[in-house]
Amino acid sequence: MQSISAGTYFRRRAIVALIVFLLCVLVFILAMQVAGVRILADEAMRARVLYCIGSNTEMHTQAYLARFFTDELIATGEIQNLREIYKGISISDYAALVKVESVWVWPWGGSATVRVHDTVRQIKGDVIEAGLEEIPAWPSGSYKLKLVRRQGKWLVKSMQLIEPETAEAQ
């Protein structure tokens, strides 16, 4: 029967403890990344709604959008085009719901992918621009967001509607 010296026993235990500690640190970092990405994705989609149809003029600036979206995404004009659709309407009320469905991020990575379901219903208001007969429906559905980490802050780099919500679901 082979005996293990006390030094070998404690060395093995120390290695196991170190591995467990490193795994706990990795899980903690991953949880921090996921939480940050989920919060930013939710806030970004809400900011998009407020920018396009909200009544608070402080939120109708490029600086407000830059808190959530990259300059490249803002420059595409995608969000601005959506705002132009609702420009001739005085919105008084709406019901918005954002649900983060899934998040994929590496603990050491600088990018993430998020699937978000964005719904805006019951848009009420007055059409003030000639040529518009009714308030257009919001492009509700599931979006795939690509996020990047720039200077320690998550920003939405791209946004793609992958599954539009049908009229029956609204």
> CATH topology for 6-164?
Nuclear Transport Factor 2; Chain: A, (3.10.450)
Beta strand pairing status for 111-127 and 89-105? antiparallel
Give this prediction's pTM. 0.82
What tokens does 133 get?
A: 């007969």
Instruction: Answer left, alpha or beta for residue 125, where phi above 0 means left and psi between -120 and 50 means alpha.
Output: left
The three-point CA angle 5-10-14 to 5° equals 150
What is the structure's pLDDT at 103?
A: 94
What is the structure's pLDDT at 101?
A: 94
Question: If you search the block for the tokens 């004009």, which residue do you land on?
Answer: 77
Beta strand pairing status for 153-164 and 89-105? unpaired
What is the structure's pLDDT at 154?
A: 93
CB 123 within 8 A of CB 77: no
Cβ neighbour number for residue 75 with a 10 Å cutoff = 11
User: Distance between CA 90 and CA 54 in Å, rounded?
Assistant: 9
Nearest to 119, CA basis, from 35, 49, 50, 41? 49
Query: Angle, nearest 10°, between helix axes 6-53 and 78-85?
Result: 40
Domain parsing of the chain, residue ranges: 6-164
Q: Which residues pair with 149 in a beta bridge?
A: 154
How does pLDDT run along the chain (170 residues), one tens digit per residue? 566 787 888 999 999 999 999 999 999 999 999 999 999 999 999 999 999 887 766 667 888 899 999 999 999 989 999 888 888 888 888 899 999 999 999 878 889 999 999 999 988 888 887 677 788 889 999 999 999 999 889 999 999 999 998 765 55
What is the structure's pLDDT at 9?
A: 87
What tokens does 73 get?
A: 């995404």
What is the structure's pLDDT at 134?
A: 83
What is the structure's pLDDT at 68?
A: 95
What is the structure's pLDDT at 3?
A: 65
